């Protein structure tokens, strides 16, 4: 049975430069009812040592380090989901940061709306997590078909209520852009996602090659339409064009 707290799942791979700052952003949250699941994903740098040292120094029983038996972000998040005991599930990338009121504001919003799936706005940041001033605003509500052309739901902003969203639907497929595919499979059931249009997350872009490689991004979204959503070539082309227009506007 889920506990009335928030489970935070972080896949950790070669994150020695950022992970301590990310952990601290969790520990300073104004909402303290959480567990932090750090899923170590076969790092080849000094991440393991950094995590082990942090565990000793912080001595916070809410923080757990888990070894991922598989490999990759989807596998790591799924492994974290297996261990998550909280009613509310959130995801955070190892180099992103939450503002201190993120969990409190988002949980209040979820309870106020009665939604099972919520997400927030966010701001692009540089390698040192300094906000660039480019804030992504989010719609108040988004359905499956709207989400196909509006991929504004960012992983580090999401909160899911496992009493309203089946955990099997939260299981991420091991494909590129697995997070977007997961939001689609949840929304496809008729659930709507509700957006809290507040800047509560810093999206550090440094080192995120998949996001920075524009050609790869185009391939990923096309494959999502064809393989994850199983759309026809015609429908895929239509949503692809709508997505491209919104993606350009979001980065201007």
Q: What is the pLDDT of residues 69-89, one digit of tens each?
A: 999 999 999 999 999 999 999
Q: How high is the mean pLDDT of the chain?
A: 93
Q: Average pLDDT in the 234-251 region? A: 85
Residue 220, in any domain of the structure:
no
Residue 210 has pLDDT above 60, yes or no: no
Residue 160, in any domain of the structure:
yes
| pLDDT of res. 164 | 97
Q: Average pLDDT in the 133-157 region? A: 95
Residue that has been written with the tokens 């490689």 in this structure: 213
Residue 27, in any domain of the structure:
yes
Supply the range of the domain harboring residue 57.
3-208
| pLDDT of res. 250 | 63
28's tokens: 């300073």
Residue 19, in any domain of the structure:
yes
Q: In sequence order, what DSSP letters do the residues of 194-242 get, joined into one string?
A: EEEEEEEEEEE-TT-HHHH-HHHHHHHHHHIIIIIS---HHHHHHHHHH
Q: How far apart are CA 119 and CA 79, in angstroms?
A: 22
CATH code of the domain covering residue 135: 3.90.550.10
Answer whether 14's CB lies under 8 Å from 47's CB. Answer: yes
Residue 23, in any domain of the structure:
yes
Residue 36 has pLDDT above 80, yes or no: yes
Number of domains in the chain: 1
| pLDDT of res. 252 | 61
Q: Average pLDDT in the 227-252 region? A: 86
pTM as predicted? 0.93
Answer whether 197's CB lies under 8 Å from 123's CB. Answer: no
Residue 87, in any domain of the structure:
yes
Residue 56, in any domain of the structure:
yes
Residue 248, in any domain of the structure:
no
């Amino acid at each position: 049975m889920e506990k009335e707290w928030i489970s935070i799942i972080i896949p950790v791979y070669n994150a020695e430069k950022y992970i301590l700052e990310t952990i601290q952003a969790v520990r300073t949250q104004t909402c303290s009812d959480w567990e932090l699941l750090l899923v170590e994903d076969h790092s080849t740098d000094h991440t393991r040592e950094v995590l082990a040292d942090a565990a000793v120094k912080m001595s916070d029983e809410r923080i757990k380090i888990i070894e991922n038996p598989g490999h990759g972000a989807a596998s790591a998040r799924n492994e974290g989901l297996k261990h998550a005991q909280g009613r509310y599930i959130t995801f955070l990338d190892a180099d992103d940061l939450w503002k201190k009121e993120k969990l409190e504001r988002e949980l209040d919003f979820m309870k106020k709306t009665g939604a099972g799936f919520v997400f927030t706005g966010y701001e692009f940041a540089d390698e040192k997590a300094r906000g660039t001033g480019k804030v992504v605003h989010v719609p108040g509500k988004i359905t499956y078909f709207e989400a196909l052309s509006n991929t504004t739901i960012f992983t580090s902003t999401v909160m899911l209520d496992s009493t309203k969203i089946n955990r099997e639907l939260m299981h991420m497929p091991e494909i590129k852009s697995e997070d977007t595919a997961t939001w689609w499979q949840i929304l496809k059931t008729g659930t709507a996602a509700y957006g809290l249009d507040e800047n509560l997350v810093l999206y550090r872009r440094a080192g995120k090659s998949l996001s920075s490689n524009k050609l790869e991004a185009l391939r990923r979204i096309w494959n999502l339409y064809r393989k994850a959503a199983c759309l026809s070539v015609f429908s895929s082309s239509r949503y692809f064009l709508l997505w491209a227009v919104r993606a350009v506007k979001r980065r201007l």
